[in-house]
Amino acid sequence: MASDGFQALDEKSLVDYLKATPSLAAKLGSHFDKLEIKEVGDGNLNFVYIVTAPSGSIVVKQALPYVRSIGESWPMAKERAYFEATVLQEHGRLCPNHVPDVYHFDRKMCLIGMRYIEPPHIILRKGLIAGMEYPLLADHVSEYMALTLFYTSLLYQTTTDHKSGVAKFCGNVELCRLTEQVVFSDPYKVSEYNHWTTPYLDADAEALREDNMLKLEVAGLKSKFCERAQALLHGDLHTSSFMVAPDSTQVIDSEFGFYGPMGYDIGAFIGNLILAYFSQDGHAEKEGDRKLYKKWILKTIVDTWNLFHTKFTALWDKHKDGSGDAYLPAIYNNPELQLLVKQRYMVDLFHDTLGFGAAKMIRRIVGVAHVEDFESIKEAGKRSECERKALNFAKTLLKERRDFHKINEVVSAIEDLDT
């Protein structure tokens, strides 16, 4: 064990840890002789164990001091576990339906013991690749986003509480830096970590690096990401950060959480749905057999934004006379003005969402970390065709996002590009 009390666990030492930790032992019915332990961390960063006992299961997640998918050559603050646990707890309080319970957090060990999200839950991205419809997805995700973003913004919080939260999450700077690098920087320059479907997309990747207007817009988004503390974000809300079953949607992996621009979370989800959309032709076993499924993805994109808009503005209405410091009721004191400020706020948020969503799409095609939606398309020529459509759409969206006023217009533009 290191002098700071940290020790990287393996499947054996994990058992000792569980025995010595009453809150976790209780969940397992203290049956340590029949434990089954499976390491399932398939993300980029952490070790994740599913621990099963006859009377119950838990998940134990431990952060190590480097990026797992790269190795010890890319160090990464293990304190991210503290921020992950804190976001899980704060978002869980605001939206218990869609955030798993935290049973135990050990700051020194960078270890979280939490709810095991049981089958038939699977990672949403895998469901999207398999062509599975989730009729409640847009409703659930919009609820999660509306509740967590509204209640951690100045629409609900006092300045005092807000600045206290901002200060705390400034400590998660290493994960913010990682996002800055992989989302806003590397795709637009030569970087050893970048890769793409070569040689098909070589010219596309080069064109990105030479697109002045695109790089101008990316700078504006990066500045918002770094400077604008609007709400407590999940910070990495792509389709692998959701576990879904037909009637349940659970948000996981919040170690990138910080106070940032709301559009970054909403855009991450919508951008990844658009990636899923453009990957479908690569998964079709015969021409057109994903046609209806593609329609469902587009409908989910539309519903997600529109439901989010409805729920978020309803929360605003509900709390317009509350303690939020942004719009004091004595000033924003007539229905016409209340409508005006909401319209302005939601239009700005819509444009942020499209911009960040586009940036998240681009980085998944030419940056360090790709998505299984495309990677699982074995034939490179076909994969690159899907990727190029997504890339071209993302470039347009990023540069021309202010010309869009409704989410339906975005979906129409996707369909136009896809014909």
Residues interacting with its own copies, by CB under 8 A? 154, 159-160, 162-164, 166-168, 170-171, 173, 176-177, 180, 185, 188-190, 209, 212-213, 215-216, 218-220, 222-223, 226-230, 325-328, 330-334, 336-337, 340-341, 344
Query: Hey, is 55 helix, strand or coil?
Result: coil
> Smaller CB distance to its own copies: residue 140 or 342?
342
Give strand pairing partners of 245: 248
> Smaller CB distance to its own copies: residue 47 or 196?
196
Residue 251 is which amino acid?
V
Backbone angles phi, psi at 74, to 5 degrees: -120, 85
Q: How far is CA 380 from the centre of its chain?
A: 27
- Cβ proximity of 301 and 276 under 8 Å: no
Query: Hey, is 92 helix, strand or coil?
Result: helix
> Smaller CB distance to its own copies: residue 188 or 393?
188
Exposure string for 152-183, b = 16+ CB within 10 A, e = fewer: bbbbbbeeeebeebeeebebbeebbebbebbb
> Smaller CB distance to its own copies: residue 212 or 419?
212
What are the Cα distances from residue 125, in Å, to 91, 276, 277, 358, 373?
A: 22, 8, 11, 18, 7
Taking the complex as a whole, how short is the minimal distance between the CB of residue 251 and its own copies, in angstroms? Answer: 24
> Smaller CB distance to its own copies: residue 314 or 337?
337
Cα gap 57→60, rounded to integer Å: 10
- Cβ proximity of 147 and 93 under 8 Å: no
Taking the complex as a whole, how short is the minimal distance between the CB of residue 161 and its own copies, in angstroms? Answer: 9
Taking the complex as a whole, how short is the minimal distance between the CB of residue 169 and its own copies, in angstroms? Answer: 9
Query: Hey, is 386 helix, strand or coil?
Result: helix
> Smaller CB distance to its own copies: residue 19 or 177?
177
Residue 377 is which amino acid?
I
Taking the complex as a whole, how short is the minimal distance between the CB of residue 184 and its own copies, in angstroms? Answer: 9
> Smaller CB distance to its own copies: residue 13 or 323?
323
Taking the complex as a whole, how short is the minimal distance between the CB of residue 175 and its own copies, in angstroms? Answer: 11
- Cβ proximity of 91 and 137 under 8 Å: no
Q: In what helix (H) or strand (E) does residue 105 lie, and over which residues does it extend?
A: strand 102-106
> Smaller CB distance to its own copies: residue 163 or 299?
163
Taking the complex as a whole, how short is the minimal distance between the CB of residue 261 and its own copies, in angstroms? Answer: 9
> Smaller CB distance to its own copies: residue 41 or 171?
171
Backbone angles phi, psi at 57, to 5 degrees: -130, 155
Taking the complex as a whole, how short is the minimal distance between the CB of residue 353 and its own copies, in angstroms? Answer: 17
Taking the complex as a whole, how short is the minimal distance between the CB of residue 364 and its own copies, in angstroms? Answer: 18
Taking the complex as a whole, how short is the minimal distance between the CB of residue 253 and its own copies, in angstroms? Answer: 22
> Smaller CB distance to its own copies: residue 280 or 353?
353
**Cα dihedral sign, 72-170-366-287:** positive
Complete DSSP assignment for 98-141: GSPPEEEEETTTTEEEEE---TT-EEHHHHHHHT---TTHHHHH
Residue 302 is which amino acid?
V
Nearest alpha-carbon partner for 268 in 371, 193, 177:
371
Taking the complex as a whole, how short is the minimal distance between the CB of residue 229 and its own copies, in angstroms? Answer: 5
